[in-house]
């Protein structure tokens, strides 16, 4: 592993291709309990396998893979009891990079980030954007405005507490697995202080009924976390929230709005489609095995996630 003595926070953030590759995200993950290893090309998080001395490395949203990068990652993994490195490059799908990964021994792995996402072009005028939306989406935006829904940025602790309350309600209602409150608190503290994370709230009849956390990184706005109440759902707060998030990104002079994933068959994917976004395909998720334990580990993980999903549905 090359020496990183001269790689300080500012220099590191210049090469970071995504918020989860930022120095601040790495510091958040350290507080959460992960070991974070920084290379000249990005950072990985290490995840201990319970009751063993072995680990898994995750390299989320890193740069374009190179032979030098893969060799350095593999060398580190072999020397440090890492049974495989999970790579999800922040790179649009192309045959050359996929061939490089395959030739180096990487195989398709279980996804953390979805292999495709939606982008909205923030360089277009508000008029152009509105015109491109689905008619029902435009109607719902105007309905929320007519009903008096108010969207604003509110980064107070009270707003965060309301966000978490709504997140708990949303996860129970939709039956999906989510990180704990402590995880979200640590993330919010580190990234909001750095000006990366921003909280938008939608208020109706003096009550916050939707809250979103947005990330700002370089020329991009990202939508990683959102929650809403079933109460007053006919006020269409989420529709107005998305529109105001778009306007927020435009005011900041950003170029793209990444809606953080596209999963066919999910209701929220249908919601996102109403804003006429561009579909973007990435090169996907790749596991680089560095130990014979890779296969038994993947079998155990499939069983673990099966029971987690089962538990989420029962809550």
Domain boundaries, the chain: 9-115+282-314, 117-281
In angstroms, how far apart are the furthest CA atoms of the chain?
A: 62
Q: Which of 163, 193, 158 is nearest to 181 (CA)?
A: 163
* 263, pLDDT greater than 90: no
Q: In angstroms, rounded to a whole number, what is the distance separating the alpha carbons of residues 73 and 87?
A: 10
Q: What is the pLDDT of residues 152-180, one digit of tens each?
A: 999 999 999 999 999 999 888 877 767 89
Query: Of the CATH numbers 3.40.630.30, 3.40.50.720, 3.20.20.150, 3.40.190.10, which one belongs to the domain with range 9-115+282-314?
Result: 3.40.630.30
Q: Check residue 180 and give its pLDDT.
A: 93
Confidence of residue 2 (pLDDT cuts 50, 70, 90): very low
Rounded mean pLDDT of 222-240? 95
Rounded mean pLDDT of 217-236? 95
Q: Check residue 174 and give its pLDDT.
A: 75
Q: What is the pLDDT of residues 10-23, one digit of tens each?
A: 999 999 999 999 99
* Kind plus residue range of the DSSP H or E element containing 35: strand 35-39
Q: Check residue 313 and give its pLDDT.
A: 57
β-strand pairing of 82-88 with 55-60: parallel
Q: How far is CA 230 from the centre of its chain?
A: 24
Q: Check residue 306 and give its pLDDT.
A: 64
Neighbour count for residue 121 (Cβ, 10 Å): 15
Token pair listed for 248: 């927020």
> Regarding the domain delimited by 117-281, which CATH topology (the fold level of the hierarchy) does it fall under?
Aminopeptidase (3.40.630)
Q: What is the pLDDT of residues 46-100, one digit of tens each?
A: 999 999 999 999 999 999 999 999 999 999 999 999 999 999 999 999 999 999 9
Confidence of residue 315 (pLDDT cuts 50, 70, 90): very low
């Amino acid at each position: 592993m090359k020496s990183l003595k001269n790689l300080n926070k500012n220099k590191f953030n210049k090469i970071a291709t995504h918020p989860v590759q930022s120095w601040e995200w790495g510091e958040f993950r350290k507080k959460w309990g992960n070991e974070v290893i920084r290379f000249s090309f990005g950072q990985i998080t290490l995840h201990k396998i319970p009751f063993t001395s072995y680990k898994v490395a995750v390299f989320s949203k890193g740069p374009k893979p190179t032979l030098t990068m893969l060799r350095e990652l593999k060398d580190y993994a072999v020397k440090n009891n890492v049974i495989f490195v999970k790579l999800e490059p922040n790179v649009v799908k192309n045959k050359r990079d996929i061939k490089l990964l395959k030739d180096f021994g990487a195989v398709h792995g279980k996804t953390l980030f979805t292999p495709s996402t939606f982008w909205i072009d923030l360089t277009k005028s508000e008029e152009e954007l509105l015109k491109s939306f689905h008619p029902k989406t435009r109607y719902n935006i105007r309905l929320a405005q007519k009903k008096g829904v108010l969207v604003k940025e509110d980064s107070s602790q009270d707003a965060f507490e309301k966000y978490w309350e709504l997140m708990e309600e949303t996860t129970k209602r939709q039956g999906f697995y989510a990180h704990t409150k402590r995880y979200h608190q640590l993330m919010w503290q580190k990234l909001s202080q750095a000006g990366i994370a921003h909280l938008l709230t939608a208020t109706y009849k003096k009550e916050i009924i939707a809250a979103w956390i947005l990330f700002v990184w370089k020329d991009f706005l990202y939508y990683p976390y959102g929650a809403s109440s079933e109460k007053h759902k006919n006020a269409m707060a989420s529709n107005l929230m998305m529109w105001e998030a778009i306007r927020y990104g435009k005011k900041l002079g950003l170029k793209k709005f990444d809606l953080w994933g596209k999963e066919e068959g999910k209701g929220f994917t249908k919601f996102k489609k109403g804003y006429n976004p561009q579909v973007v395909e990435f090169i996907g998720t790749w596991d680089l095995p560095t130990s014979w334990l890779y296969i038994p580990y993947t079998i155990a993980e499939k069983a673990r996630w099966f029971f987690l999903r089962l538990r989420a549905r029962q809550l």
